[in-house]
């Protein structure tokens, strides 16, 4: 067997090729090359042999078959072991030490306007990918160069006598990334071309904004776990739907009751489980005219989820844990909403939803048995970020470590409400704090840089929710024909204390009433707020200062769950004790971005 080192060169990008060949020649490396690479080297005066010198077979099929031969790949894949040496000797094949290869410009080709499928097919490299993968697989012995930027460093090491293990490892990683990126581009192109032939890809109207085109949803393994029964999803619709669905699925699993969520801009506006509604709750949530709601726990759950924060829920994406029935669909038909995702729909309920928005309302059906893999990846500014999916399970049993009071206990209702709040936080943009009572979210602060601002925002929403139950709000005299959205807006102005005093906004406010309500006085507000109690609060990370506890207490909070770890844990816990609040350690941080 020959002792001379052998290099196989087959490159599309010929940057630095002549300098590389010169360095290889100076080190007495035998150079084998194919096609255009061989011609360029020969024309430059280098001693180069065609691949056919070892394959004993000519290039064929217009150059599509050049290096696909045992004489090439056995030489690359052979290891320094006795059995491999014997196999090579029996076939009179020499080991290959260096492979220099990069691939056809598939990305550049498909970036051209109106590129055809035949044009793209011609740029699908076969032999090059095989060379690279074979050499990278055997990088313990073989050096693979797929990037011309590495030629200079390689030659410097070659001149010193050998290529280090660290360099071979680095080159191999780069080679695997090169072929992975290449295959991703190819699969992406053909996924777009053949989207109608399968269920792995869904073309979206546009991305986060109308100018962000093209946009798509796809999976690299198996079919998409959902399908559109009506309407066409957008990018943000799916961001909301695919965050909202696991939330309600987990609520149902944790608490054993149907669950619903109202999602806006990748955070919940509300979430709830299905508990019976009082007559007052039906009126507050605008569902006192829904036939059959008393028999539908799913409809009750959505009424609560939508009713938590009607202003934020305007134009929501809805997630429902169970098969959608007619009462639930009837509520949805009356609200301004972008779409719904659920595991199924009763035939009559689906017909109701299909009529919404002139037939364009988005109705997604998801496979309830679908479970994503343990790893999730996203791309930000061209950089891939990867992490283990947040698969921590939250149940009422998650709240057994009571910090204060030392002899404190949690009622079943308190553990339920902490579960609702905490699972909701798991799918809320951080920082986030959630207030819950009676199996539903009543206030959520999402995406704030400061913890106290989360607590205040969520607390203010909880206060507004409770003020809507005041008899003065329940007795508002609306003008006939006032729309639900206008009612919600007017109520929000009234209960939040943001009533305009004069001008066009004041005129618009007064225009919806038969009798214009007076603003709440501070005394009225304080007296009513004192009646709100037994509220549970959960935080996605520790409370760093006591101001959070004081703010929570103002909204009737009696239970707080949060991770520990702050240097200020002692004062925070002491403040909870002083205010009569049970503080529970929730030992998992739940940041969500």
3-state secondary structure (DSSP) of residue 535: strand
* CB proximity list for 234: less than 8 A, separation 6 or greater: 204, 205, 206, 215
Q: Which residues of 142-155 are buried (b: 16+ CB within 10 A; e: fewer)?
A: bbbbbbbebbeebb
Instruction: Please check whether residue 496 is in contact with residue 525, taking contact to mean a CB–CB distance below 8 angstroms.
Output: no
Cβ–Cβ < 8 Å for 307, 270: yes
Write out the E strands in 389-448.
Answer: 402-404, 432-437, 440-446
Point out the catalytic residue in the list 14, 107, 137, 487: 137
C-alpha distances (whole Å) from 400 to each of 394, 412, 431 are 12, 12, 24
The H or E element that residue 391 is part of is none
Q: Is 428 within 8 Å of 461 (Cβ atoms)?
A: no
Kindly state the DSSP code that residue 398 receives in the 8-state scheme. Answer: G
Per-residue b or e along 170-204, where b marks 16 or more CB atoms closer than 10 Å to that residue's CB: ebbebbbebbeebeebbebbbbeeeeeeeebbbeb
Q: Which residue has the tokens 């055809």?
A: 116
Strands, E assignment, 252-352: 259-264, 267-273, 316-320, 337-342
Query: Which among 136, 138, 155 is positioned nearest to 146, based on CA atoms?
Result: 136
Q: In angstroms, rounded to a whole number, what is the distance separating the alpha carbons of residues 141 and 77?
A: 9
Cα(48)–Cα(531) distance, rounded to whole angstroms? Answer: 90
First-to-last alpha carbon distance for the chain, in angstroms, is: 59
137 catalytically annotated: yes
Total Cβ atoms within 10 A of residue 1: 9
Assign 99 to helix, strand or coil.
strand
Helix orientation angle between 70-77 and 127-137, rounded to the nearest 10 degrees:
20
Nearest Cα residue to 268 out of 285, 288, 246, 253? 246
* Beta pairing, strands 535-539 & 259-264: unpaired
> Of the candidates 384, 447, 389, 380, which has an alpha carbon nearest to the alpha carbon of residue 593?
447
Copy the structure tokens of residue 247. 């939330």
Pairing, β 216-218 against β 201-203 = antiparallel
Reference 104, options 118, 124, 76; nearest CA is 124
Q: Which residues contact 533 (CB under 8 A, 6 or more apart)?
A: 556, 558
Establish how many alpha carbons lie within 13 A of residue 99's alpha carbon, considering only the half-sphere containing its beta carbon.
33
Is 107 considered catalytic here?
no
- C-alpha 449: how far from its chain's center? 21
Q: Under DSSP, is residue 541 helix (H, G, I), strand (E, B) or coil?
A: coil
Q: Which of 14, 265, 354, 453 is catalytic?
A: 265
- Residue 491 near residue 468, CB atoms below 8 Å: yes
As given in the structure block, the two tokens for residue 271 are: 């979430």
| Active-site residue list | 137, 265
């Amino acid at each position: 067997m020959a002792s001379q080192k052998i290099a196989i060169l087959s490159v599309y990008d010929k940057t630095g090729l002549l300098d590389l060949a010169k360095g290889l020649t100076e080190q007495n490396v035998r150079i084998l090359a194919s096609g255009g690479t061989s011609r360029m080297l020969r024309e430059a005066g280098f001693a180069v042999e065609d691949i056919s010198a070892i394959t004993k077979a000519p290039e064929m099929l217009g150059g599509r078959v050049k290096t696909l031969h045992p004489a090439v790949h056995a030489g690359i894949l052979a290891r320094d072991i006795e059995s491999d040496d014997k196999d090579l000797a029996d076939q009179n094949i020499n080991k290959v030490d260096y492979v220099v290869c990069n691939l056809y410009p598939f990305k550049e080709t498909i970036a051209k306007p109106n590129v055809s499928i035949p044009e793209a097919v011609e740029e699908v490299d076969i032999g090059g990918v095989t060379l690279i993968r074979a050499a990278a697989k055997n990088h313990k012995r073989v050096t693979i160069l797929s990037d011309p930027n590495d030629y200079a460093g390689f030659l410097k090491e070659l001149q010193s006598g050998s290529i280090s293990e660290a360099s071979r490892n680095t080159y191999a990683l780069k080679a695997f990334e090169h072929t992975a990126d290449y295959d991703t581009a190819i699969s992406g192109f053909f996924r777009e071309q053949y989207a109608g032939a399968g269920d792995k890809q869904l073309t979206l109207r546009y991305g986060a904004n109308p100018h962000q085109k093209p946009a798509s949803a796809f999976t690299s393994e198996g079919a998409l776990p959902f399908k559109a029964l009506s309407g066409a999803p957008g990018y943000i619709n799916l961001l909301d739907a695919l965050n909202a669905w696991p939330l309600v699925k987990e609520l149902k699993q944790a608490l054993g009751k149907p669950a619903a969520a109202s999602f806006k801009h990748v955070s919940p506006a509300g979430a709830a489980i299905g508990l019976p509604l009082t007559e007052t709750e039906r009126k507050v949530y605008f569902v006192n005219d829904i036939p059959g709601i008393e028999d539908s726990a799913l409809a009750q759950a959505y009424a609560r989820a939508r009713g938590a924060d009607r202003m934020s829920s305007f134009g929501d994406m809805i997630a429902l844990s169970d098969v959608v029935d007619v009462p639930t669909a009837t509520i949805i038909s009356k609200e301004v909403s972008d779409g719904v995702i659920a595991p199924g729909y009763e035939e009559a309920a689906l017909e109701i939803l299909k009529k919404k928005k002139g037939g364009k309302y988005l109705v997604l059906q998801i496979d309830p048995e679908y479970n994503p893999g343990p790893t999730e990846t996203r791309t930000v500014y061209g950089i891939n970020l990867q992490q283990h999916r947040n698969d921590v399970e939250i149940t009422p049993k998650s709240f057994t470590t009571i910090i204060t009071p030392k002899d404190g206990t949690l009622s079943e209702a308190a553990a339920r409400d902490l579960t609702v709040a905490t699972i909701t936080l798991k799918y809320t943009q951080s920082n986030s704090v959630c207030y819950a009572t009676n199996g539903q979210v009543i206030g959520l602060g999402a995406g704030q840089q400061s913890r106290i601002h989360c607590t205040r925002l969520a607390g203010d929403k909880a206060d507004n929710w409770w003020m809507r139950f005041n008899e003065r709000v329940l007795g508002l005299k609306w003008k006939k024909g006032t729309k639900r959205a206008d009612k919600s807006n007017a109520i929000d102005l009234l209960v939040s204390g943001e009533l305009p005093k004069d001008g066009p906004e004041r005129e618009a406010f007064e225009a919806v009433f038969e009798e214009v309500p007076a603003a709440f006085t501070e005394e009225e507000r304080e007296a009513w707020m004192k009646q709100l109690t037994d509220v549970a609060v959960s935080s996605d990370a520790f409370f760093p200062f006591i101001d959070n506890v004081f703010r929570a207490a103002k909204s009737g909070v009696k239970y707080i769950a949060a991770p520990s770890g702050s240097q200020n844990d002692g004062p925070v816990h002491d403040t909870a004790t002083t205010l009569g609040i049970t503080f529970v350690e929730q030992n998992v941080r739940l940041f969500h971005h």
